[in-house]
Amino acid sequence: MKKIYTLLFLSIVFTLTGCIPQISIDEEPTLGALELDEFITLGDRYAAGLSNANRDPGGLQGLYEAGQLASFPALIAEQLNLLSIEERRDSFSFGQHLLEDQGSGFYMLQEITLRECDGRILEEKLSLEEALPNWLNQRPSERNFHNLGIPFLKVSQLFDSDALSLNPFFNVMQTQGDNFTSYTDLFADKNPSLAILWFGLEDLIIHAVRGGSNSAFPITSVDDFSQNFSRLLDSIESRGTEKFLGVIGNIPEPTLFPYFRAVPPVFSSSENCNANGSSVYYEDNKGDIRIADSEVSILLPVWERLGMNTSVGPAYGLTMDNPIPNTLVLDQMEMQRIKEATQKYNQAIDSLVERANAGMNRPRWIIADLNNAFSNLGRGFTEGGLEVSTTHLSGGIFSLDGLSLTPRGNAFVANEFMEAIDVKSRQGVNLNALKLADYPGVVYP
């Protein structure tokens, strides 16, 4: 019999959509043998709930209370708690260190002009909700939270005290008395029975958003990635309970995200779909001026500047005298390096999980195949009449910055993790899926 379970905790989703999200259960839901003594999530911007951040690299905007409440760990925790109550188990605590109100600041879509013939974006205008002046001082009084997502944290930095000290989001997760030197210090007092982990995208994205050729922001080497990931898994498992289960999200190819796909290689400001567009010019990493084609990726920050007059000259990106700089373009070789690194990271994760599960009667670590999920998302699909895809804005999954997720995108990711638990944990679990239509995508003015 079909049952509907209502999520009461997501006030932000109710505020944005006017309706309360629901979980549609086609089969009897159950936690099976899954233990929920303590549930923690670990990761980067995606676990933290970063959303609507600055499109230019280096900004700190995007972490604020509403986005955190709609993070994929929060969505998973709420369903687990609902089923725990349904099965008359003890409810469990899943705390998040929330930055009040607008937190570090975020962007909103103020104006948008679409071409009537095909819905293509002709113009968009964003407005900034400024950060709270004291957001960096919003440290917790005690560490009673379980979502340990840290925006912009790379796997290569997990045990690097200098890099960690420079990350304000790592610092704001510590109490005034803490002086942590390792990411693992954040969960030193935890004994998880369930841990969900999604790390690795920052090791690629922080490089890619700077044009793929800035030596100060390299792709993390596969050896460093594998060694630090292994240390992290060992640290988590050493604290886990006897029936511990860990779920690792593997890594999608980030160049499929709208940040790298939204700007077309031919510029058109015409309302006429049959009108010819203008060539787009860019500077390659050797200083030569080239005409963009489908083999290169023009980064999203270019979009609001393309065709504008700049200090260099008129018609930015549309003339050889005022080309797009190399720092805002990924060429074919740069994209291939990112793709190869993604594949090697995922191979390393596969090997680590295989090693950790060797000789076990049931797996202690399983993988949620987010790489495959986002590849399928790139082709788009329809769920209950709702079209979702990686398309900028209208696809509903990615927020205004083209990299982080909307509440709907977080529901999509939550479903992938829950499906992995259902299918791979061998614990008789049936969590089923959140309805994506119940969670907002990009909010239009």
Domain boundaries of the chain, sorted by first residue? 3-263+332-438
User: Angle, nearest 10°, between helix axes 72-86 and 407-424?
Assistant: 50
Residue 443 · residue 108 · CB < 8 Å:
yes
What pLDDT score does 250 carry? 98
Residue 435 has pLDDT above 50, yes or no: yes
With cut-offs at 50, 70 and 90, classify the pLDDT of residue 272.
low
pLDDT at 26: 53
What is the pLDDT confidence band of residue 427, given thresholds at 50, 70 and 90? very high
Distance CA 368, CA 198 (A): 9
pLDDT at 12: 38
- Model confidence pLDDT, tens digit, residues 174-220: 998 899 999 999 999 999 999 999 999 999 999 999 999 899 999 99
Of 232, 111, 240, residue with least CA distance to 183? 232
Question: What pLDDT, on the 0 to 100 scale, is given for residue 293?
Answer: 95
Residue 219: what residue type?
Answer: I
- Confidence check: pLDDT of 276 > 90: no
- The pLDDT tens digits of the residues spanning 114-160 come to 777 666 777 889 999 999 999 999 999 988 899 999 999 999 999 99
Distance in angstroms (rounded) separating the CA atoms of residues 389 and 412: 11
With 90 as the cut, is the pLDDT of residue 10 above it? no
Find the farthest-apart pair of alpha carbons in the chain and give their distance in angstroms, rounded: 70
How many angstroms separate the CA atoms of 80 and 69, rounded?
15
Q: How far apart are CA 134 and CA 321, in angstroms?
A: 44
| Averaged confidence pLDDT in the chain | 90
Tens-digit pLDDT profile for residues 377-395 = 999 999 989 999 999 999 9
Enumerate residues 6+ apart whose C-beta is below 8 A from 439: 13, 17, 21, 70, 406, 407, 408, 410, 411
| CATH number for the domain whose boundaries are 3-263+332-438 | 3.40.50.1110
Q: Percent of the chain beyond pLDDT 90?
A: 80
If you ran DSSP here, which 8-state letter would residue 99 be given?
Answer: P
Q: What is the pLDDT of residue 1?
A: 19
What's this model's pTM, rounded to 2 decimal places?
A: 0.92
Q: For 242-265, how does the pLDDT look when each residue is reduced to its tens digit (9 = 90+)?
A: 999 999 999 999 999 999 999 999
| DSSP-derived 3-state class of residue 419 | helix
Whether 5 shows a pLDDT value over 60: the answer reads no
Instruction: Report how far residue 350's alpha carbon sits from residue 336's, in angstroms, rounded to the nearest whole number.
Output: 21
- In degrees and rounded to multiples of 5, residue 259 shows phi and psi of -55, -30
